[in-house]
Structure 1
C-alpha cells in the first residue's frame, strides 16, 4: 500500500512537468585574467543564443553598457565588501544607486536603457564559513538600497534581493519536510523575509549540486544529474528522484515554518563543473544541464504549482580567478570556455540550434611554454609548484582533464598556464633556463594546453570607488548621517 502511494505521488509529480514554464537565465561572471570584450559576450553570445535574462556579479559599467538596448533583463550585484558601508549610510546607498542603477536603467532619458530588474545585495553574505563577516550588514544594506531606489525615478520599480547559499537551510537526514533555517540566522532571516515580502520579491537561493554531492551521504551521482534511480528519496508521501527538487523543497519547508508559505523562490546560481575534480566532466555537465532544462517544466512535490520564478545557470564562461577553498573546481563551471567556445550542447534559449560561441576572438600566437627536456629538470617540480600559486593548474587535480599527466608533462602544463596568463611575454617562459617556447601543440588527449587571448581592458567597476569616496568626503565634512 505504501509503495503504491509513493508511485502515484511520483507519477503525478512527473505529469505536472511541462505545464509550467520557468524562465532561464545565465550568470555572467568576469573573474577572468583574460576577459572577452563585453560587447562580444552581449551581442555575440547572449543575443545570438536568445538568452533573455542575465545576472552579473557587480555593476561594471562596461558590462552594463554592452547590455544597453538588448532587451535582456539584468540582475546587478553589490559586492560583499560594500555591505558594511551601505548598511551604515543612506547617503552611500543613494550614491551607489545613482551611479549603478539610475544612470543605466530603462526609461531614464539619455541613459543606457538597460533593463535592470533586481539588485542583488551581497554574494551569499550568510555563508556559514564567513561567520559574521558580512551577515550583520546584509539586511541593513538591502534596506538602504531599497530606500534609495524608491527615491530615484525610474529606479523605484527595481526590486532588491539578497542571494543566499543553500547552506542557510538545515534538514534532518536530508528530508525536505524537515527543512528549517539555521538557528544562528533566526533573527536575521526573520528580518530578511519580512523585507522581501513587503516588496513582493523572491527568496534567492544558490544551489551547487556538485558540492552538495561531495558533502552528502544521502544522494547519489545519478540523483544529482537528474538520471533515473532505483532508490529515490522518500519523504512521507513525497518522492524525490533528484537532488535539486529536494533542495528546493527543503527551502519551501523552511519558508513555511517561518510563516512565508507563498513566498516565491528564485535560483540565483546553479551549474556543474567540467574539470578540476572527480565527476567534474563535460559529459556529466551536459547530462546535468539537459536534466535541469527538462526539470524546469514544472514544480516540486511540495510546490507542484509554484515552481521557482527563474533559474540562472552558473556560469556562462569559465573564470580562472575563482576558486576560494575548492582547489579551483569553481573555475570550470562555464557552459562556454574562457574564450567563449561552447563545451557541450544545451538549450539556453536558442532551441535546437547549436550554441553560438564568441566570434572574432583575438587569440595570442600559437605558442606554448614547456619544460625543456634537454636541460637539468631537478628543480622543475619546485618551479611548477611556485607557478601554480599564481596560474591556473586546477586541471592537474585528481580527476581533472590533465590529472593523468606524468612528470615532466605536468610541469609543462603549469609552465604554459603561467606563460599564457602573462600574455606570452618572452621572459615568462624562462623558469631559471628550463622553460622552452614551442610552436608544437603539447596537448595530450583530453588535456588541452590552452592558448590565451588578447584580453580587453579588465572590468573596471566603479561601484566601490564611488561609494567609498562619497563616504570619505561625508565623514571628513562631518555630514554623515547614520540610519
Structure 2
C-alpha cells in the first residue's frame, strides 16, 4: 500500500491440477491492540498458513516463527535503503534466525512500492544498489541459493488503456529493465500489488462489477481477448510491460490484493467476502489470464490478515479495515481458502482487557464535548464513524460514546481516561449497536497484571453501586 510500516504476509498452499499456487495474507502490525506474536502464529497454523512475510525483520515475530515450518519473507523498509549495511543486515536478520529448528526465511523484500508515484522518486536510486550489495552479502553467508531478493511494486509502475499495450512508466523504463534483468538472473519473481478496490474508490466512472469476479456488463475488449474483471486486465498489462523489455515469461507474484470492510462507501463485509472468495475461486480454477492461460500467479497475498487501527488514513479511512480478521484475530466473514476448512478459524487464548466500556454519561449535558472528541479521535481510531463507516448511523450520544471508548481502550482502560471532565462513565453493559462494534482492547500482560485489573474492576463496581444508590439512577 505504499507504506513503510511493519507488515506480515501469510501464504496458504493451494494445490491445483497443474501447478502449486499460494494464497497469501499480509499481516500488518500497525495496531493499537497487538496480539502476541505466538498468538498470531497459532492463528496461522490453525488456518494451515505456510508462508509469512514481514515488512521489516521483527525479531519477536521471527522467534515465534522458529521451528514452525512457515516460510518467511522479511523486508527492508524504504527509508532504510540508503543507510543500511547489507552484511550486518544478513548477519542480524537472517543468519542468527536460520538453521535447524530456526525460521525458514526464503525472501528479502527490498523496500515496499519504492517506485510509487506519490514518493516522487525519493527511493528510486537506492533500490538497485541495495539489491546488489545484499546479493553479495547473501553469497558470502552461503545463503544466496536459498534466500531470494524481491522488490514489491505498485501497479502504478506500468500503464496502458488496454492490457496488450502495457508499458512501464517512461521514467522507470531504464531502472525496471535493469531491475528485472537482475531479478531474472538470481531466479526471483516480479512482485506487484494490485487493488481493484482503489480503482473503484478513486474513479466514480469505474464499473463496479468489473472490480469483482462475477462477470461484468462492461468488459474490456483488447483484440481477440476479452477481460471481465480488473484483476486479469491489470495482471496482463504487467505481462505486456515485461514482454516489452524482454521478459515476457517472468514469474509474477501478487504481493497485496484485497478489499476493506469499513471506512468508505463500498467497503463492507459483503463486498470483501465476495471479492476475496471470487479471487480465490478464480485462482483455484487454474484458468489464468488471456495472456497467460492456465498459468495463474505463483503466489497471491490477500491484504490483510488483521485490521490495523494505527495506520495512516491519508489514502482513506478504509486503510484501517483491510483485515479478514478483526484486530483480535476473530474472523469477520466466512471465507473458504481452499484448504479443506469451510471457513476461517479464530485466534484462541486472546487476552482481552476486562469487559467494560467508556460511554457518554446519560445524565450530563454534552454541549462542551467537542474538544474531548477531538482529543479522543486524534489518538484513537474513529474511522468507522465517518461516512460509509459501519458506525456512521449512530445518534449523537452514541457517537460520543464510541469516541470515548476508543480512547479508553487505547489507554488500556486507565480510569482517568474515561473522565472527560465528568462527561464519561464506565459501564459493564456492551454498548455495541447493530454492526457497530464497541471494542474491548487486548493485552499481552502477565497474570499479575490481570489480577490488578480485576482488583480495579472490584473498585469500579463498588463505586457504581454507591453512585447508583446515592443518585437513585438506574443504569
Distance (Å, rounded) in 2 between the aligned partners of 1:349 and 1:379: 53
Are the counterparts in 1 of residues 207 and 218 from structure 2 also a CA contact under 8 Å?
A: no
How big is the shift at 1:329? 1.0
* Residue 121 of structure 1: aligned partner: 110
Using the size of structure 1 for normalisation, the TM-score is 0.85
Give the distance between the partners of 2:73 and 2:422, measured in 1 at CA: 48
What residue number does 1:345 align with?
A: 334
TM-superposed deviation, 1:281: 0.6
Partner of 2:46: 48
SS at match of 1:52: strand
Displacement after TM superposition at 1:400 (Å): 0.8
Which residue of structure 2 lines up, in the alignment, with residue 327 of structure 1? 316
Deviation at 1:456, TM superposition (A): 6.1
Take 1:442 and 1:196, find their aligned partners in 2: how far apart are those partners? 53
- Residue in 1 that maps onto 2:65: 67
Q: For the structure 1 residues 404 and 324, does the alpha-carbon distance in structure 2 shift closer, same or farther, using more than 3 Å as the test?
A: closer
Shift of 1:379: 2.1
Asked whether the 8 Å contact 1:225–1:242 carries over to 2, the reply is: yes
Tell me how far 1:392 sits from its aligned partner: 0.5
* 3-state SS of 1:428 partner: helix
1:123-180 CA deviation, whole Å, 9 max, x = no partner?
A: 11111111122222122112211111111024542110010011111112xx111211
The match for 2:31 is 32
Does 2:305 match 1:316? Answer: yes
Which residue number in structure 1 is paired with residue 421 of structure 2?
Answer: 432
Counterpart of 1:361 (choices 342, 350, 362) is 350
Decide whether the 8 Å contact of 1:269 with 1:311 is kept in 2: yes
Q: Establish whether residue 392 from structure 1 lines up as the match of residue 377 from structure 2.
A: no
Counterpart residue number, 1:471: none
User: Deviations 1:11-30 (Å, cap 9, x if unpaired)?
Assistant: xxxxxx97554211222221
Using a 3 Å threshold, how does the CA distance of structure 1 residues 218 and 253 change in structure 2: closer, same or farther?
farther
Query: Equivalent residue for 1:254?
Result: 241
CA gap 1:176/1:235 in 2 versus in 1, 3 angstroms: same
Q: Distance in 1 between matches of 2:94 and 2:259?
A: 31
Per the alignment, residue 21 of structure 2 pairs with 22
Q: Larger deviation: 314-323 or 151-160? A: 151-160
Tell me the distance in 1 between the aligned counterparts of 2:444 and 2:191: 32
SS of residue matched to 1:85: coil
Deviations 1:211-264 (A, max 9, x none): 122224664222212122233111111111111111101111111112111111
Measure how far apart 1:97 and its partner are.
0.8
Counterpart of 1:376 in structure 2 is 365
Of 249-258 and 447-456, more deviation after overlay is shown by: 447-456
Aligned position for 1:148? 137
Query: How does 1:61-460 map onto structure 2 within 5 Å?
Result: 61-86=59-84, 92-105=85-98, 108=99, 112-154=101-143, 156-172=145-161, 175-216=162-203, 219-296=206-283, 297-348=286-337, 350-455=339-444
Larger CA deviation: 340-349 vs 216-225: 216-225
What is the rounded CA distance, in whole Å, between the counterparts of 1:66 and 1:128 in structure 2? 36
Cα distance in structure 1, aligned partners of 2:188 and 2:288:
19
| Cα distance in 1 between the residues matched to 2:17 and 2:417 | 54
Residue pair 2:288, 2:295 contacting (<8 A) in 1 also: yes
Q: CA deviation at 1:65?
A: 1.2
> What is the rounded CA distance, in whole Å, between the counterparts of 2:219 and 2:315 in structure 1?
29
Q: Distance in 2 between matches of 1:52 and 1:349?
A: 13
Measured against aligned partners, the alpha-carbon deviations of 1:250-309 in whole angstroms (never above 9, x if no partner) come to 111111112111111100111110111111111111101110101112311011143211
Q: Counterparts of 1:100 and 1:48 in 2: how far apart (Å)?
A: 26
The number of residues matched between the two structures is 429
Distance across 2 between alignment mates of 1:101 and 1:406: 52
Alpha-carbon shift at residue 394 of structure 1 (Å): 0.9
CA separation of 1:74/1:348 partners in 2, compared to 1, >3 Å: closer, same or farther? farther
Q: CA RMSD in A?
A: 1.8
1:395-430 superposed Cα distances (whole Å, 9 cap, x missing partner) = 112111001112122121111111111100011111
Q: Does structure 1 conserve the Cα–Cα contact (< 8 Å) formed by 2:135 and 2:144?
A: no
- CA separation of 1:456/1:177 partners in 2, compared to 1, >3 Å: closer, same or farther? farther
Unmatched tracts of structure 2, length 5 or more: 1-15, 447-475
CA contact (8 A) 2:280 2:338 kept: no
SS across alignment from 2:325: coil
SS of 1:285's partner is: helix
Contact 1:50 1:349 in 2 (8 A): no
Contact 1:441/1:449 (<8 A) preserved = yes
Structure 1 gaps, min length 5 = 1-16, 87-91, 458-483
Q: Contact 2:209/2:217 (CA < 8 Å) preserved in 1? A: no
